[in-house]
Structure 1
Amino acid sequence: MLILWSYLFLFAFGYNSPVPSLAQPTTTITTGSPFTFPAARSTVLPDPSTYFSSNLLSSPLPTNTFFQNFVLNNGSQPEYIHPYLIQSSFSSLSVSYPFIFSNSSFASQIFSPDFTISGLNNPNPNQTHVISSFDDLSVTLDLKPSLRFFLVRGSPYITCQVLQSLKLSISTNHKVVNFVPNSSKARFKISLDNGQTWILYASSPITLSHDVSKIVSKEFSGVIRLAVLPNSNSKYESVLNKFSTRYPVSGRAVFSKPSSVEYKWEKKGSGDFLMLANPLHIRLLDVDDDSDIKVLDDFKYNSIDGELVGVVGDSWVLKTDLVPITWHSIKGVKQESYPEIIKALMQDVKELNSSNISTTSSYFFGKLVARGARLALIAEEIGYLDVMPKIKTFLKGTIEPWLNGTFDGNAFLYDKSWRGLITRAGSNDTTGDFGFGIYNDHHFHIGYYLYGIAVLAKIDPDWGRKYRPQAYSLMLDFMTLDRSPNLKYTRLRNFDSWKLHSWAAGLTEFENGRNQESTSEAVNAYYSAALIGLAYGDKRLVTLATLLTTVEIHAAQTWWHVKEDSKLYGTDFTRENRVVGILWANKRDSILWFAPADQREFRLGIQLLPITPIAEVLFSDVEYVKQLVDWTLPSLKRKGVGEGWKGFVYALEGIYENNIALKKIRKLTGHDDGNSLSNMLWWIFSRG
């Protein structure tokens, strides 16, 4: 785990607020006067009433959640609810314990409906499902009139409540080769010709009959649970039998302490409680002599995310050492480098002119805002304040039009249907602003503006006070922690509390579920929110944002950073890839949305930009950094490689080959639109 030095801990949590005049320290994330951007009239957003129960429509709805496919189009694309792929199609629900296919280009879980559950003689066979409730760790899916599925992430069992007496149909794409009930007819062991063995549990005796591919019941009401035996070892069956009588119906993640996340489940039945943990859970799980938690190291399920391990305990606490949230470099800049940085600063600041910005894209414009803010912090760190007035003018000129709604080319708007921000460009075009209008990439885009706002509020407290409501409205779009019908935004819009990282894709149906490409921009979003907290003396915001920054980094290092000796993915994929391109809920891709797999400098760069102090923590494993750079450098020999993308490779090379990287950086003829020579020199000269 990352070590947080005590002085940085105090600094990060705002006990010495850098701008105490802006606000008194608060215990809640507050906006002061409520602010709402102008109401939107979107022509491209789906109707949330199609699948959400009517009682949920008065509350903010999730737009990047693990079950998003269930509420888009016809709701029939599978979703990965560990360890099963789940597909709901009209009046039935299909369960698959997926096979993982992997080669050098991608790894993917293959959906094949091992069992499909429905009611016999359903009067409405074409009726769609309804989401009757949801939370951080679960979704409840109803197939009316009688079937309710509690889909809880990490449960080795699929739990179905039969609400009223009904004859059940449980069909399979395979052949039933063995069917063995116990003496009470409340447990059935079912073997299929694909080599799988499943166990069906019933809360009371149930009469089942079967043919080659279908199991049917007589009238039954109560609870049935279905679980695959992932291993022929008899211990697995014993474990499943032992814990089959206690089942979860919902689960939530609690962010009540500075450095931990607690999982709490609502449970029914009796006995001890079994769930599955992913590799990052196991790394962070707080298990000590006083804990009631027991890890079953020899009880595991396969997953594209790594082995899922059994954990017994009523609730979990995931603890971590928090990363440092600092305005400036962690180790400081070498003083002998000041003249070279100042020379670059003078030129970069000279070129700042908000009126010369031609882009109207919320993403690319935000990058330019953050680039200017970086210049301010570099100048502040090395004590060269002569350039500060012009930087301040630039930041005001770029940020205020977006906050005031006076920018001619675009604007932030408020969507009342799903409750969140969209842009004018995205309100009638699904591709506008990279899909921001259908809730793609919100944390990426807004994170850049928050960075600029935080810096400007730091150096100009009067300006910060004036624009605090707008700043908080932007931040809360993806940082709202509470869940209430009265709130303007959904809870933690992008953050996945079970995987402990964000998803970028919004209200678009994908075969492989949600996805995220750029972990570094996700880290930047939460880091920038923490800086907002520092600028406004908001301890609770700093606390939450620091924790999200920390676990987002852990997740990036776990699932995106592929070390040479990693056992997480297949041998071929690991051999050919040092970093994942696009990480899907159900797939790992080597390609990017904008580049093929062989253009490795793009893959490295999109996992590093923007270069800020938090990037040092994200790439703190020097051995891995060297592997990544060595893997990438041959790509720079291609004709036409962009100077900006070269710069990101050299920046990481500078972690372990400082002088060599510096020489290469001095020869660059250009930089990424969110980067600058000043920032590159600051990075190289702050490597310690």
Structure 2
Amino acid sequence: MSVRRAKAGDPGHPTSRSFAGRALVLTVVASVAAGLAAVAVATTADAVTVGAGSHTEILPAGAALPTGCGTLSTNPRQFVTADAPAGPVPTNDWWSSLVFKKFDCSYSENLHAHPISYDTTAGGLGFSYNTTPQISGSATGVGEYHYVYAEDFTAGVSGMNAPKVLVDDWSDWTVTPYWSDGARTMTATIGHGLPFAYFQITGGNAQITAKSTPTVWSHSGASIGYSVAGNDYVAYAPTGATWSVSGNVISSSLAGKGYFSVAALPTTPETATAEKASLATSYGRYAHNHVTGTKLSYSYDQAASRVSTTYKYDTTARESGATGTVIGLYPHQWRALTGATPIAQTYVSARGAMKTLVGRSSYTTSAVFSGVLPEIPAVADSSGADLLTLNGYLDEIKGNPMDARGNDTYWTGKGLGRAARIAEIADQLGRTEVRDAALGAIRERLTDWFTASPGKTQRVFYYDRNWGTLIGYPASYGSDQELNDHHFHYGYFIAAAATLAKFDPAWASNARYGGMIDLLIRDANNYDRSDNRFPYLRDFDIYAGHDWAAGHGAFFAGNNQESSSEGMNFANALIQWGQATGNTTVRDAGIFIWTTQSAAINEYWFDVHDENFPEAFGHGTVGMVWGDGGAYTTWFTAAPEMIQGINMLPITGGHLYLGNDPAYVRSNYAEVVRNAGHEPTVWQDILWSFLALGDGEAALAKFRAKSGYTPEEGESKAHTFHWIRNLAALGTTDTSVTANHPLARVFVKNGVKTYVASNITAKPLTVTFSDGRTLTAAAGKTATVGALTWSGGNATGGGADPSPTGTTPTPTDPTSSPTPTPTVTTDPTPTPTVTTDPTPTPTTPGGAIRFLQTGGALAAAAGAAGTLTVPKATDVPDNQPHDPVIFTATGLNLTHEADEPTTFDLAVDADTTVGNAAQVRISYDLTGDGSFERVETYRYFATDAVPGWEGYRETAGLAAAAGTMGDLENGAVQVEIWSPIGSGPSTVSLGSLSTVHLPYR
């Protein structure tokens, strides 16, 4: 999923969403070897070499593996049958809770396939076609909508009482659960966009048990049409069979043939019976043409800058009838549909109206790929005061380009992303010393992570054969135990490596570290079906068109994803890496994901057409998408700036899709201001950068007026100013013009266009735009022509063929042969030991970070990891400490930042105790005389009853505050944590996970 919890120095930042074992939370609760054989070749006791890099297959000391029910951590295939596909089980899908059982150890959580949602029970498969959303919250504050699972009936076998449900088969967007109680068996194939569920049974009659007495409106021979709770269904038995009705039970012997199907109709209670019957007959032609598999194929036509995607259905005819099936299309699909026309009736879904194709075995969509850039060109930063300003910002950060806030995969990634942006803009401006400092930091950190030496437990990747996954340790946000967020974390690594590859192609070669990058790509979204080391497209839901963040999806509301933009960071990283290294297979996989997901984001996160969110929801955007709906909230805060900003960051040249509709950009920003009641006070740089895609001049004015802000953890003032200043000159993106090169874009201001292309090869490149304009970029240069003419940069790495004219589409049905897996040199010598310098103590202008340590220290360095017990609550007055655990820092000499608040991020856990909470008080002794001049007591944070760290942050709000802040002169700070309510003790994490950010320089 994506529980985003802020970490060191994070004033409210989520970043990886899916906290260990997090049950359905927030207001949801309230409202209801083969493919990589050429890569990993030499194995020692500690490391598998991949070129000059390496990973381990021995779990590092103290590291955690995926955890779930029973022995799931070592045997994830315990919940599949012997007939299930070989290789790693899929995770992070809409149906993953069937096989990655987290809380329900026998069956599954709700499975939101759309248009139908399902649940698995001992008696069979539950159906819900809910057309009425449940809406909570307000139109200006936190709010959610959910098409909550409300069971209409269960389809099964009479008398069946299966002790568990296994998975018998899966394909690109279908799954086949399996039931058996020893005497009776059943399989049911269900999938995204299928109004049908297809059954095969043994040992008894087919039985449909409704939650209320069904209304039968058609009963003729082998089919029966019935309504439950206002929803219309048809059950189809084989020819020669009949259905009988007794009370709320519908049953059939199936004429001894053992198969049937059930379909939901796209009708309403107002639909005439004759129209229902007509649809039932139309559907009936395909009722016994069972869908037995689905498969994606896609191609990128570079000359036309289009992505064609084909969705194919394999069917098995149980008896004679028409070929094809009935298919429901999501909005991002039917808007791009070619060569077919849906019928008039539509299904209601959590993603909006689903249009229906009848009698098809496949369909194809065609979508424009509008292009990405390594970075916005410096058209306006070539001279004058603004250039001095920008160079000043670069000077401030050249000594610490990564500004690392943590040592785990997510926060390492954030630092790498920051350094990559600095390298790109410094290169454009000829600041080679700054560029090389940033590239050096990227190279050093990636090389460290990509080297597994004996006994190394930090900054190391581990491959688990049972799960088919590559986990980086230290992990974060459930990237280990939950298999959450790999695309979020690894996207930053890959994107930074792509920048490095342009300047240091030798480092990125297969003989050195390119193979390790390829492993990260394959783990998060394996593009090669023949590679059985990782599941195909782990995090990307092929049919839904977007990523899912949670590994197991074990929530009442289905799977979820928060930061769609960090998912797009991964897709853009594949494009940039593939282009820089000449790997068109990886590049085209990135283009497919980027093009498909950008459309899905505009539909399901932004609802730019104002058609998909329920009318009463009141918001123009959501912070999170759930399987059954959406939420204007996040896993980590209720601040509007962050709810909306989490789907904007990181700001890169691969995120220009955010500006496809400039009017919507302005509307989205206005919603932040409206809901917050003021201009942004956190993450201003992210929101201004987003606004610049709709109104650069307004964004630039806001930056100039408030340039003393604190940057978001993955940003720098240098990059933000560069981005906003140049968009103010370029204008907004013009998606009506495309190019025959993937690293190109067009901007328009006052009706005049500027054409941009980036050439990262060592040869001149001529790019042709769809309106006939051409642009020639010298080797290694980004160039513009049109309203603004400019050329800069010196990136001359590898790169794909610089002559894109006449390029033919690359078929990427991964049954075809992709670009060969990187060849790896086998070096029999021991893996080199890498010296790992300690991560610098995170510091940031406007704040001093302190870590909770063992022994009650409030220290400047994280120190050793540990835990401390917070005693259970007793009857004490509100907001008064009782048996607190205390952490203290003394001898402090710091200058107070008047505009900065105290912030904190404490990792707390109540294990399985219900009704616990943690509360914190922070006190400032300005002179060290033992008296506190400023005391801040924060509202308590209610913890859940599911084991796993939760993030308690200052966003809980102040309960009380007294006194005045000032400079610390030999002063002291005290942090007290206690249990204000609850029947059991809680735990607080010590070390890197629990920090206090003091408002001092």
The TM-score with structure 2 as length reference comes to: 0.60
Report if aligned partners of 2:546, 2:597 keep a CA contact under 8 Å in 1.
yes
Shift of 1:91: 4.1
| Inter-partner Cα distance in structure 1 for 2:411 and 2:111 | 32
Shift of 1:594: 0.5
SS in 1 for 2:342: strand
In structure 2, stretches of 5+ residues that fail to align are 1-34, 42-49, 302-306, 731-1001
Name the residue aligned to 2:310: 262
Deviations 1:49-69 (A, max 9, x none): 232123547402211112112
More displaced 10-residue stretch of structure 1: 105-114 or 533-542: 105-114
Name the residue aligned to 1:23: none
1:2-41 matched pairs, under 5 angstroms: 35=50, 37-39=55-57, 41=59
Shift of 1:681: 1.3
| Inter-partner Cα distance in structure 1 for 2:338 and 2:590 | 21
| Inter-partner Cα distance in structure 1 for 2:700 and 2:264 | 55
| Inter-partner Cα distance in structure 2 for 1:272 and 1:261 | 22
Name the residue aligned to 2:237: 202
Relative contact order, higher structure (CA 8 A, sep 6+):
1
Shift of 1:656: 4.0
| Inter-partner Cα distance in structure 2 for 1:220 and 1:497 | 37
Letter in structure 2 aligned against 1:661: A
The CA RMSD over aligned residues, in Å, is: 2.5
Name the residue aligned to 1:308: 354
1:228-627 matched pairs, under 5 angstroms: 228-231=264-267, 232-233=271-272, 234-246=274-286, 247=289, 248-258=291-301, 259-269=307-317, 270-273=321-324, 274-287=326-339, 293-296=340-343, 298-312=344-358, 313-329=360-376, 332-336=379-383, 337-352=386-401, 357=404, 359-405=406-452, 409-426=458-475, 432-465=476-509, 466-484=512-530, 487-563=532-608, 566-573=610-617, 575=618, 577-596=619-638, 599-627=639-667
SS in 1 for 2:726: coil
Name the residue aligned to 1:161: 200
Shift of 1:236: 4.4
Report if aligned partners of 2:106, 2:163 keep a CA contact under 8 Å in 1.
no
| Inter-partner Cα distance in structure 1 for 2:316 and 2:131 | 31
| Inter-partner Cα distance in structure 2 for 1:363 and 1:235 | 54
| Inter-partner Cα distance in structure 2 for 1:155 and 1:300 | 13
Report if aligned partners of 1:580, 1:589 keep a CA contact under 8 Å in 2.
yes
Report if aligned partners of 1:31, 1:472 keep a CA contact under 8 Å in 2.
no
| Inter-partner Cα distance in structure 1 for 2:721 and 2:77 | 52
Name the residue aligned to 2:924: none
Report if aligned partners of 1:152, 1:251 keep a CA contact under 8 Å in 2.
no
1:97-116 matched pairs, under 5 angstroms: 97-103=129-135, 104=138, 105-116=143-154
| Inter-partner Cα distance in structure 2 for 1:150 and 1:660 | 53
Report if aligned partners of 1:167, 1:217 keep a CA contact under 8 Å in 2.
yes
Report if aligned partners of 1:199, 1:227 keep a CA contact under 8 Å in 2.
yes
Shift of 1:332: 4.7
Name the residue aligned to 1:131: 167
SS in 1 for 2:703: helix
Letter in structure 2 aligned against 1:110: V
Letter in structure 2 aligned against 1:267: T
More displaced 10-residue stretch of structure 1: 578-587 or 611-620: 611-620
Report if aligned partners of 2:347, 2:353 keep a CA contact under 8 Å in 1.
yes
Letter in structure 2 aligned against 1:591: T
1:153-232 matched pairs, under 5 angstroms: 153-162=192-201, 164=202, 166-178=204-216, 180-182=218-220, 185-192=221-228, 194-218=229-253, 220-231=256-267, 232=271
SS in 2 for 1:64: coil
Report if aligned partners of 1:91, 1:127 keep a CA contact under 8 Å in 2.
no
Report if aligned partners of 1:328, 1:381 keep a CA contact under 8 Å in 2.
no
Q: Is residue 67 from structure 1 mapped to residue 95 from structure 2 by the alignment?
A: yes
Equivalent residue pairs, number: 634
SS in 2 for 1:107: strand
Letter in structure 1 aligned against 2:283: F
| Inter-partner Cα distance in structure 1 for 2:300 and 2:653 | 25
Report if aligned partners of 1:165, 1:221 keep a CA contact under 8 Å in 2.
no
| Inter-partner Cα distance in structure 1 for 2:218 and 2:540 | 43
In structure 1, stretches of 5+ residues that fail to align are 1-27, 288-292, 427-431
Which structure is higher in strand share?
A: 2
Report if aligned partners of 2:424, 2:435 keep a CA contact under 8 Å in 1.
no
Q: Which has the larger radius of gyration?
A: 2
Report if aligned partners of 1:154, 1:277 keep a CA contact under 8 Å in 2.
yes
| Inter-partner Cα distance in structure 1 for 2:668 and 2:232 | 41
Q: Is residue 50 from structure 1 mapped to residue 78 from structure 2 by the alignment?
A: yes
Name the residue aligned to 2:115: 83
| Inter-partner Cα distance in structure 2 for 1:556 and 1:433 | 23
Report if aligned partners of 1:328, 1:613 keep a CA contact under 8 Å in 2.
yes
Deviations 1:367-392 (A, max 9, x none): 00111111111112233323233222
The TM-score with structure 1 as length reference comes to: 0.87
Letter in structure 1 aligned against 2:107: G
Shift of 1:459: 1.0
Q: 1:669 to 1:331 in 2, by over 3 A?
A: closer
Report if aligned partners of 2:300, 2:592 keep a CA contact under 8 Å in 1.
no
Report if aligned partners of 1:280, 1:558 keep a CA contact under 8 Å in 2.
yes
| Inter-partner Cα distance in structure 2 for 1:130 and 1:195 | 31
Name the residue aligned to 2:27: none
Letter in structure 2 aligned against 1:159: Y
Letter in structure 1 aligned against 2:193: G
SS in 2 for 1:471: helix
Letter in structure 1 aligned against 2:311: Y
Q: 1:442 to 1:460 in 2, by over 3 A?
A: same
Report if aligned partners of 1:166, 1:221 keep a CA contact under 8 Å in 2.
no
